[in-house]
Structure 1
């Protein structure tokens, strides 16, 4: 059986579809490709950062709970570039400020310690999740940008049909293929962004829970010192 039409396979290659597309569709494709590259750059960098942060925090907290002298541990590890280390430093700083005077307000000291370390936890989570909004934006916007390119390309194909006065598939197919390719690129950018966003959000939430547990434990330790017991 003879095919209805015969198209060169090269005309359906991604490069050919891009080169043959209208300038508006080209702009959409190019923007989505940049978004995809940006997305994968963030995914790779954030994945490594999250892994290093989790390992570093686990080691820091193990060393902290083994330490017998908080002041000595602070001198050694207080400047460490880890979220848990900065929460620890915030607690030590507030502890020293609150206990530097002769008269210590135990209740007020406990409240200030909780506030200081809570603010440090929030700041660390905000810093850690800074790039996640990019993934969320790409994941939600990219399909619609690709759809815009598809609609524009199909409109262009219909205009070509009217001008050529020929509605055969051989005339329509190239333009529709170019248009649908824009949607494909949009999904190519959006799907990894959505998956990575959900995965990284879960990882950040776990780190936040770990920081809160560490802050609560450190707060309990300092509270015992206020009461004059271990």
Structure 2
């Protein structure tokens, strides 16, 4: 009969040392693989660095969104300056129409001017000149038709360029989403080729893809806000033009009354 096997302290120490060595080797191997993965990652994870490391399609998307954002702020600046200038001119023109004058005098004063109210006065004076300053029953209707055409032309002029804001506000989020979908698709392809699911390897590609969506929102949100602001400002400007047209028609009525009184006095 064999004596029972006894684990001596020496054997126990050897087993423990072997287990520790195997664990250390496993940890060192994992650390080496992690270090290799980290070494292969892009060092610059700033927005500009992610742009440089992105796929060419994502780069084109992000560049297009940056250009759209620049166009939005350019339209805002130019239209704001134009609206303030034209609104001030319209208010000055309304003040002139409130004075005790005649359409012929205002027409001579407005010659050569290109603001909206001056255009309204000029077209009414032109109709008066073509009619021989004969205020018959249809004269006011002819002047009203001319004023409507000038108002429509001035409205088209002041609204030119604002349509691009509506387009950017509607399209930019979807363009950014396309860039994100394309970037994430490439990130998953990279995961398949690298045979690893390490988040440190996957995260940069996904971050680059999400940057496209962020740029899409950066381009779209200001475009929508600025478009709504300009629509309200243009509506106020068109209301001023409507008031100016009404004042011109009132001036025509006063001139007709003066003409009738002069005829009776003569």
TM over 0.5: yes
Is the alpha carbon distance of 1:74 and 1:229 closer, same or farther for their aligned partners in structure 2, counting shifts above 3 Å? same
- Please tell me whether residue 141 in structure 1 is matched to residue 171 in structure 2: yes
Is the alpha carbon distance of 1:37 and 1:22 closer, same or farther for their aligned partners in structure 2, counting shifts above 3 Å? same
> How far is the alpha carbon of 1:85 from its aligned partner?
1.4
Partner of 1:100: 132
> How far is the alpha carbon of 1:10 from its aligned partner?
5.8
Coordinate RMSD, CA, aligned: 2.4
Whose radius of gyration is greater, 1 or 2? 2
Report the Cα distance in structure 2 between the residues aligned to 1:135 and 1:173, rounded to whole angstroms.
34
Is the alpha carbon distance of 1:60 and 1:224 closer, same or farther for their aligned partners in structure 2, counting shifts above 3 Å? closer
Unpaired segments ≥5 residues, structure 1: none
Partner of 1:53: 86
Alignment size in residue pairs? 224
Is the alpha carbon distance of 1:105 and 1:60 closer, same or farther for their aligned partners in structure 2, counting shifts above 3 Å? closer
| 8 A Cα contact 1:132 1:197, kept in partner | yes
Unpaired segments ≥5 residues, structure 2: 1-33
Q: Which residue of 159, 169, 182 maps to 2:212?
A: 182
Report the Cα distance in structure 2 between the residues aligned to 1:10 and 1:89, rounded to whole angstroms.
67
Q: TM-score, normalised by structure 2?
A: 0.78
Is the alpha carbon distance of 1:47 and 1:181 closer, same or farther for their aligned partners in structure 2, counting shifts above 3 Å? same
Equivalences for 1:28-177 in 2 at 5 Å? 28-97=61-130, 99-100=131-132, 105-106=136-137, 108-177=138-207
**Structure 1 outlier segments of 4+, above 4 Å:** 4-10
Q: TM-score, normalised by structure 1?
A: 0.89
Map Cα deviations across residues 81-129 of structure 1 (whole Å, 9 max, x no partner).
Answer: 21121122122212322x3186x541x2222111110110011000110
